[in-house]
Chain A
């Protein structure tokens, strides 16, 4: 059993320990468990477990087209993000844009504008974020079909998918973003070298 240093053991533990030695020495229970909390039900987990990883495995049923997405975007998003996804800088950054076509200039050029099309590495992130956090003033109010649709419109405007594409779990999972391979794990380690 790993010893836990610097830990105070709550008084209730003392009663559970014969002889009180564990409480006195600050050791955790032999089982490693305190038997606190309760089991979470499948329904409780399902109600909160809304995250979509890059494999898209948890994408929900439903679908949306680019033209449906244009309707959703116009009604729910354009007032803040602009009619064409151009944003209202600096408060609302641009959503749409593929410039520059070649390269990834952001480290060199502080004026380069990051968009979904030129910076976001995963399309699944777009679905996850829009569903959990947008629209800003009524978050979580879009149906899954609406989220698929507005995701489709944003990806089409960024020239990542075609204008007649239909997005569903299968097609969204297959989208490869232009900046997909631009990200590298942090290699700073402290020490003398500045990275």
Chain B
């Protein structure tokens, strides 16, 4: 019998706030092991540990890539280096990893604290699926468009690639991102990955959905369409037609190559700025109609209860959010200059301002926004900071082009209620202890 807890149904939008830190698997290789190795005695011991890892079935961790890594020598200028290879691997000194792993119906989170710039490496893009990742043969996969159209049509991937295409950089973010720390703001061992890792940012290539709908002759009375995935839960979401004629796309490529299976290979719907679940992966069907279908994922899930005794439905847009990704738990910092660096994004357009406080919200200063600053995309911000060694708090607060300012947790509770669900984008930050240890600070 499969262990239900392993399957993790619906746990995916609500990951435990406590960090299980699988980055360095027990008994696995750590950065320290390698550094020690670099200083001297390694060789057989290192290779033996690699063998142990493989025997433990550690293929789900980046440590598996060590199998192909030769020993680290004391002076790399004195021996020839590695030959060419078919597929590159990260430096053995870098071990970014999604966590948790192994969920058939659940999620893994992007390791935000390990990443630079704005593009999320595709193999570290967070995962969220409700019935596992299907393996789909692109030669057999089709996209059906029917319903209120003049010409019900079938398109292959090859067909789609013959349409005019666009390239866009956008984030994808689960509307459950931040729920764990909204519910448990005082778990101070939370990492950026735990706090906001149900999001990622990619360059996407695809055909504007408007072009496909014009191709099949969408009828003017169509006001909603249903998007359906080809996974084992045959995921469905109802989407207003306005989004199709705004910026929706059917995409087949991500960051220079075909979509990763976990991101919807061979094709997915991309609704820039809208909650991840509505960006239906493994897209197989679009049906045009006049009313929403009220699927399970837009009624019993992904609705936002309010204190007024109602629940918000079709709350697609992800409002502005930011998070400092460095320094962050579990790092320890030293006195003197460092960069405070982080990410900000808004589902309503461009980020116009990120303010950083280094004194627990008593004062705020504008951070530098690193170009390109794109709509509905990650924006990297940073600000140099000289730490004097006294305990303090670091916070960030984003503003978008509509004038929306990222709220405090207290504000969200006040306007929606403490039990509200999804779209918790409140200000979070980090408490720096006098000894330089950095801890999560989620109750602003």
**Which residues of A line the B interface, CB within 8 A?**
4, 6-10, 12, 26, 28, 32-34, 36-40, 44-45, 48-55, 79-80, 88, 90-93, 103-112, 114, 116, 119-122, 124-125, 128-129, 132-133, 136-137, 139-140, 182-192, 194-195
Contact = CB atoms under 8 A, between A and B. Distances in A.
B159 interface: yes
A133 B232 contact: yes
B162 interface: yes
Given A37-B153, A51-B287, A109-B418, A183 B295 contact: no
Given A8-B164, A10-B162, A125-B300, A39 B8 contact: no
B307 A194 contact: no
A110 to B, nearest CB: 4
B104 to A, nearest CB: 8
Contact of B300 (A4, A49, A111, A119): A119
Contact of B146 (A49, A112, A121, A182): A49
A6 B312 contact: no
B389 interface: no
Interface string B120-132: 0000000000110
A110 B307 contact: no
A53 B291 contact: yes
A36 B417 contact: no
A194 B412 CA distance: 8
Contacts of B255: none
The 9 closest A-B pairs by CB, nearest first: A190-B402, A106-B305, A107-B417, A133-B233, A107-B305, A129-B296, A186-B315, A37-B155, A107-B306
Given A28-B164, A182-B309, A37 B159 contact: yes
B234 A139 contact: yes
A38 B293 contact: no
A57 to B, nearest CB: 10
**Secondary structure class of chain A's binding surface, majority of residues:** loop
A39 B215 CA distance: 11
B164 A4 contact: yes
B411 interface: yes
Given A122-B299, A128-B296, A133-B130, 8 more contacts: A10-B163, A40-B146, A48-B285, A107-B419, A119-B311, A125-B296, A137-B2, A139-B232
Interface in B139-191: 144-146, 151-156, 159, 162-166, 183
Interface string B308-343: 111111111101000000000000000000000000
24 contacts: A7-B208, A32-B215, A37-B159, A53-B293, A54-B293, A90-B10, A91-B5, A91-B8, A92-B10, A103-B309, A104-B310, A104-B311, A108-B419, A112-B419, A125-B296, A129-B295, A136-B9, A139-B131, A140-B234, A188-B317, A190-B319, A190-B400, A191-B404, A194-B411
B311 A184 contact: yes
B7 A136 contact: yes
A192 B2 CA distance: 48
Contacts of A195: 415-416
B293 A121 contact: no
A103 B287 CA distance: 36
Contacts of A116: 300
Interface in B189-225: 208, 211, 214-216
B294 interface: yes
B348 interface: yes
Nearest to B230: A48
B284 interface: yes
B1 interface: yes
A51 B236 contact: yes
Nearest to B300: A120
B415 A194 contact: yes
A140 B159 CA distance: 29
B232 A45 contact: no
A40 B144 contact: yes
Nearest to A81: B4
B146 A108 contact: no
B226 interface: yes
